[in-house]
Structure 1
Amino acid sequence: MSETHATVTPGTPVFPPGRYGRRREPGRRRPLLLALTVAVLLGVLGLAAAKLYTQYGDPEYQGEMISYTGITDSRVVVDFRVTVPPGGSATCRLRARSHDGAQVGLVETTVTAGSGQRHVRARQEVPTSARPFIGEVLRCRPAG
């Protein structure tokens, strides 16, 4: 017996008999499982962000460029200021770049604040392999 408009409820699609197999019932939604999955995912991402922040984003160690002078074919002198915890030390990475943006010099230096001081002003020569155009402070991190 084939389906007719009298045997089918309005709005239900009509398919030829014997084709396309058996129609499945609409699936049951699981909002609790979705909410739990999202909560676990957010927790894992939060832990990863916290770990990366403590590893790379310590705000107590801030390097600030003051000036670069003494540019010759083989060096540049970088003046910079570092904020550290009171009486602490920091290792700063300084680099020199040529006019086309290529890195021509790189040096790491350690600076130490006096007792109770949070700011250290330092001057460091960066040896270069070609004539530099600029000297800059890349980053500062805890010494050690």
Structure 2
Amino acid sequence: MTETSTNTPAGTTGERAPWPAGRYGRRRERRTTPRAVVGVLAAVTAVAMAAIGWQLFRAYGDGDYSASVTRFTDMTDTQVVITILVRLPADGDAVCTLRARGASGAQVGQEDVTVSPGPDPARTQVTHRLVTSGRPVTGEVKGCRPA
């Protein structure tokens, strides 16, 4: 007869050894959460995430009024000329906030500029001379909003 080897210590069967009585307290029974509670929590979480997403879209996601700087030139101690490309709806004006920063990163000029749609409202180009209080190193558009 051949004996087969198992990975259990000598003198034990393959079953789990019981804890010594009274030494570790009593074991708690495993609690299961009812499926209805899990479903309700999942639904509440989904509604909350949708509400947060909607608020973020309203604050930052309106793609009808977007702008980007295409160039900034003619930098002197008192000005910078900024050219921006603005996306507008066909029937809407926008107010875009332009700013200039100095070498230290501090803001040296800021101005709100009203932009009306051009022949192609999705690609309206605007050039503006921004007066600064010091020598700028960059010109930026902070953002645009409906006028």
Tell me the amino acid that sits aligned with residue 110 of structure 2. L
1:1-144 residue pairs with structure 2 within 5 A? 10-11=15-16, 13-17=18-22, 19-114=23-118, 117-118=120-121, 119-143=123-147
CA distance in 1 between counterparts of 2:17 and 2:45 reads 39
CA distance in 2 between counterparts of 1:64 and 1:108 reads 15
How many pairs align? 132
Tell me the amino acid that sits aligned with residue 91 of structure 1. V
CA distance in 2 between counterparts of 1:59 and 1:44 reads 24
CA distance in 1 between counterparts of 2:18 and 2:108 reads 72
Q: Return 5+ residue gaps in structure 2 as ranges.
A: 1-14
Q: Return 5+ residue gaps in structure 1 as ranges.
A: 1-9
The Cα shift of 1:100 comes to: 3.1
Which TM-score applies when normalising by structure 2?
Answer: 0.77
Q: Is the 8 A contact 1:87 1:117 kept in 2?
A: no
Identity of aligned residues (%): 36
Which TM-score applies when normalising by structure 1?
Answer: 0.78
CA distance in 2 between counterparts of 1:84 and 1:40 reads 37
The Cα shift of 1:89 comes to: 0.4
